[in-house]
Amino acid sequence: ALPREKILFGFFCFLAVFLAEYFLVLYGFDGFYRLNGDSLCQIAYWKTLSRPWLAGSLSASVAKPGQVLIFGLLHQCSGDVALRLLLALLGAGLSLMLGRIAAGIGGGWAGFCGVALSVGAFSEFVRGGDSQLFLVPLLFGGLLLYYYRPPGMKKWGLLLLVLAPLFRIEAAAAVVIVLLIHLLRREWKEFAAGAGALALSMGIWLIFMFRIQVEISRFTSAEAGYMPGPRGPFLSYFLGDLKAAFSYYSTAISLSLLATGAAGVALRFREWRRYLISLVPVSVIFVNYIFLGGSLLTRYFDAAFAFGLSVGVGVLFAASSRLRLMPRKGFSIPAAALVLLPGLVFYLPSARRLAAPPPPLEPYVADGLGLCAEKLIPAGSRLLSEDDALYVLLMNAPDRFRKVRTLQQFNISGERGRAETLADTDFIYLLKGGYAWYYLNIDSTCRRPGSGTDKFMTLIREIMRSNSGAGIYGVTLTPLVNDAERLVMKVERRG
């Protein structure tokens, strides 16, 4: 049993980090509409689970069953205060998990620095409710319990590892590496238990995906209509995207800590090298980017950032101890300075936010709220509209329309698919704002060959110019509203 003093110390550490997350990160946070689009989409998926007629309405984000259940239930049964508490708890849990790993490698001061850095570095994703807030504690906590705790904790570590893919599917790759290690060592019992648990986790994911999307082709966001076109010179685009991802956390600090941790555990601190498994999900992102035309987004690299802020910091302190820059149980001023002083950069966004008034809502959120209040379109209609704006519609009024589809999905459909969609549509609600992923901006955003000559897009622009109806795919599109903000058209079937 843990001594009472350790329990109290752990409680007060958690309380301190929780309060830091709540006030530093969530000060001025005013609810669900401040979550990032990916998290809003998971809430919209929750609404579709009990409404079969809405299946396949959205696909801009891969469904994450764990997040669908947690955020969906929270949105349905609770309010903004509960959301803030949950985000603060998740942020505190993430920071303390990374601090625990850093402390295990480099001692108590390493743990302190790991916690201090992670609170600032992950602040934007705490506010956005990103899926990585679940993934990182599950993945790193699973590895901690599976390999480094007493044998009785191994099963709990396995449970955390197989839960991780329910929040980000690429985490399954890390579990596969763990299984391969058992297979190579001929540890048949461990391999069978892990394989069975992973199969169950993947089965749950598939059930959710079939229930939400119906068709296998819609299982990834590649089929949402946002497919980018050719990137031009591969190396320059690749390096540019990579730099943009890491610059969010300060490129030099993040890459330095990542390299320090990876080199240290591989060469000098081998008892901790299994944490390298946590970088496998990042490699999946690279494979997706290089071979499948996927994208590099900042939040996809959180496993790498977490590795640097835990293993990297731990190795830095452990190395300074071995080089006699500090006593084994003492405080290393050089190592702390290397970590904490540059780490102040991570707190600048939070400091600016505390001093500034709340920013306006994201354009698609504001437009989605406008769509919810639109009285021109009768209840029970079949609607074709902007994907991101439909998140908010399905969150607030999932029973208002008989069917909803996205213009982005329509955009990548073939001729037959477009004709079938319009034949089953009553109104088109098209937004004219500057948001990059709206239908009218797809040409400049996606840069697909021939996108500028699309006949439906050409027809829409002509309707906007002339404010008169036109026919296509066996229907007539009649404009009802054509102002600076939106184009609302009635779809009438001909003959």
State the average pLDDT over residues 35-46.
92
DSSP letters of 108-158? Answer: HHHHHHHHHHHHHHTHHHHHHT-THHHHHHHHHHHHHHHHHS-GGGHHHHH
Comparison of pLDDT for 83 and 58, the residue scoring more: 83
| Residue among 208, 254, 231 at smallest CA distance from 61 | 208
DSSP label at residue 471: E
Is residue 362's pLDDT more than 50? yes
Between residues 365 and 330, the one the model is more confident about: 365
SS3 for 344?
Answer: helix
| pLDDT (mean) for 182-211 | 93
Residue 246 pLDDT grade (very low, low, confident, very high; cuts 50, 70, 90): confident
Does the pLDDT value for residue 67 go beyond 60?
yes
Give the chain's mean pLDDT: 85
Say if residue 162's pLDDT is above 90: yes
203, 168 in Cβ contact below 8 A?
A: no
Across the range 200-215, mean pLDDT stands at: 89
- For position 225, what pLDDT does the model report? 57
Angle at 256 between CA 241 and CA 22, to 5 degrees: 80
Band the pLDDT of 221: cuts 50, 70, 90. low
Q: What is the predicted pLDDT for the residue at 264?
A: 94
pLDDT band at 345 (very low <50, low <70, confident <90, very high): confident
pLDDT at 449 over 50: no
pTM score, whole prediction: 0.89
Average the pLDDT over 299-312 and give the result: 89
Predicted confidence band of residue 329 (pLDDT cuts 50, 70, 90): low
User: Which helix (H) or strand (E) covers residue 492, if one does?
Assistant: strand 486-493
Across 184-193, 221-230, 413-422, least confident range: 221-230
What confidence score (pLDDT) does residue 331 get? Answer: 60
- What is residue 285's predicted lDDT score, i.e. its pLDDT? 82
Among 52, 49, 53, smallest CA distance to 76 is for 49
Buried b (16+ CB within 10 A) or exposed e, 81-104: eebbebbbebbbbbbbbbbbbbbb
Structure confidence at residue 158 (pLDDT): 94
**Once rounded to an integer, what is the mean pLDDT over residues 432-451?**
70
Q: Which of 18-32, 196-210, 289-303 has the highest mean pLDDT?
A: 196-210
For residue 385, pLDDT over 80 is answered with: yes
pLDDT per residue over 105-145, tens digit each? 988 888 888 898 888 888 888 989 999 899 999 999 999 99
Of 52 and 232, the structure prediction assigns the larger pLDDT to 52
Give one DSSP letter per residue of 428-465, joined into a string: EEEE-SS-TTSGGGHHHHH--TTGGG-HHHHHHHHHHH
Over residues 417-435, the mean pLDDT reads 91
CA distances, 334 to each of 258, 316, 324 (Å): 18, 10, 11
**pLDDT value of residue 29:** 83
